[in-house]
Amino acid sequence: MPTVNVIVADSTTESREYVTSLLESSPGVNITDHARDGREAFELVRTLQPEVLLVDANISGMESTQLVEQVVLENPGVGVIILSAASDMNLMRKVMRAGASDFLVKPVTQDDLVTSVTEVFHRVERTRQHMAAATTGDLGPKGHIITVYSPQGGSGKTVLAANLAVSLAQHCNGPVVLMDLNLQFGDVDLMLNLSPEYTIAGLAQKQGEIDADLTRSHLTDHESGLKVLVAPSTPQYAETITVYLVEQILDTLKEQFDYIIIDTPSLLQDTTLAALDVSDHILLLTTLDLLALHNTKTALEMLQQLYSPDKIKLILNRSNADVGITPEDVESTLGFRIAAYVPSDGRIVVTSVNEGHPFVLGHPEALISRRIVGLAYDLMGQQPPPDVGDDVVGAKKPRAPGAAGFFKRILLGE
């Protein structure tokens, strides 16, 4: 690894020297300078342009959040790591939102510190490469990343991700890949009846060597032309998949594929967040039940804090279920428009899942298939062909007024 230049900013001499000693003994790390307060840190970063600024959260002279914001704004090619004496969630959220790359709680081990510096360095390197490419106009091909997420288990994420990916593979002219990021209990391979030779766990063993060829060699072919990166075969491999690995894999997939569809677990892991961060579209799946609505509301609030609302598409699964909650209740309770309606079709979906044969292939004429093909065209920014029908995403029909007031009261305390 090339040398990482680090500036250590800390107002306390003792802890500044301690952190420096941890890093100085690590090969590949060069402590470029030290700063004793926020202003000095800001000026040193401006003149020296290190890859990493390591800041104590209690730095004097400036709020650490403000320092992070200013450094990142004026020096997008510099990564900031915050070292905090306390595990303060509130502060962590603030500094991460201001643009910090990592947040470590003291006492830190040398391993933790070096791992963090290394990961931030790789991210900074990619940012710097992108910046250089942008100035020369050579950004290369850029695939679209679409992540299917729902905080609710069993809401239909994998059914949607698999059928949408197959639809895109059939209807877009370029290559499409489906990545199973449900790292512990991924079942995309079952849903598509695949017998994978390799999984993402194989890539975890080759960290540091990830490139387009290696990633491609770990994909499995589906009969539709779709390529699939399958989840590890057993849950214990999940922990070998790091955020950095996911970022690297997605970088290489973007070079080769027009669309990258990602299936996720309902638990919001750091690897899921890494995928959401780089997604062009987040498909937030919900269903017509109170628990799902409650969880969707929390997830939507978080997503809206992190990302632009244009990036989020709310998808209603089993949209025609007659359960006393209407789609209008969902929209009014969540304050968000439903972008696509996927109907419930137990007969077709259950058989399709059991046989491992996507229903968009087996039953292209069914409404559920046409809605998913319609969504695929919507994501491609194109009009669907006439045989898909014009009611492709399930445009709103007037419905009897639902119980929105009731759900709002329960969920919002209004």
Q: What residues make contact with ligand ATP under the rule CB under 6 A?
A: 150, 153-159, 182, 266, 317-318, 342, 344-346, 349-350, 353, 368
Contact 12, 56 (CB under 8 A): yes
**Binding at 250: pick from Mg ion, ligand ATP, none (beta carbon under 5-8 Å per type):** none
Count of residues near Mg ion by CB under 5 A: 2
229 bridge partner residues:
179
Give, to the nearest 10 degrees, the angle between helix 367-380 and helix 346-355.
80
| 287 near Mg ion (CB under 5 A) | no
Contact 180, 157 (CB under 8 A): no
Residue 321 or 404 having the CB closest to ligand ATP: 321
Residue 180 or 329 having the CB closest to ligand ATP: 180
Handedness of CA 38, 41, 47, 51 (dihedral sign): negative
Q: Which stretch binds Mg ion (CB under 5 A): 150-158, 309-317, 357-365, 392-400?
A: 150-158
> Smallest gap, in angstroms, from Cβ of residue 353 to ligand ATP?
4
Strand runs labelled E in 85-219: 102-105, 144-149, 176-180
> Smallest gap, in angstroms, from Cβ of residue 149 to ligand ATP?
9
- Chain-centroid distance, C-alpha 128: 21
- The span from the CA of 317 to the CA of 227, in Å, is 25
Residue 158 or 352 having the CB closest to Mg ion: 158
**Binding at 154: pick from Mg ion, ligand ATP, none (beta carbon under 5-8 Å per type):** ligand ATP
Contact 331, 174 (CB under 8 A): no
- Chain-centroid distance, C-alpha 41: 31
Q: Which stretch binds Mg ion (CB under 5 A): 110-118, 136-144, 155-163, 314-322?
A: 155-163
- The span from the CA of 367 to the CA of 378, in Å, is 16
> Smallest gap, in angstroms, from Cβ of residue 263 to Mg ion?
6
**Binding at 266: pick from ligand ATP, Mg ion, none (beta carbon under 5-8 Å per type):** ligand ATP
| Number of continuous H segments (helices) and E segments (strands) in the chain | 17, 13
Residue 147 or 150 having the CB closest to ligand ATP: 150
108 bridge partner residues:
none
Counting Cα atoms < 13 Å in the Cβ hemisphere of 318 gives 17
> Smallest gap, in angstroms, from Cβ of residue 157 to ligand ATP?
3
> Smallest gap, in angstroms, from Cβ of residue 265 to ligand ATP?
6
> Smallest gap, in angstroms, from Cβ of residue 158 to Mg ion?
3
List, in order, residues 6 or more apart from 345 with CB less than 8 Å away. Answer: 359, 366, 367, 368
> Smallest gap, in angstroms, from Cβ of residue 372 to Mg ion?
16
Residue 157 or 227 having the CB closest to Mg ion: 157
| 158 near Mg ion (CB under 5 A) | yes
205 bridge partner residues:
none
> Smallest gap, in angstroms, from Cβ of residue 161 to Mg ion?
8
**Binding at 153: pick from ligand ATP, Mg ion, none (beta carbon under 5-8 Å per type):** ligand ATP
Residue 32 or 158 having the CB closest to ligand ATP: 158
Count of Cβ atoms closer than 10 Å to residue 277 Cβ: 15
Residue 203 or 372 having the CB closest to ligand ATP: 372
Backbone angles phi, psi at 327, to 5 degrees: -60, -30
List residues binding Mg ion (CB under 5 A). 157-158
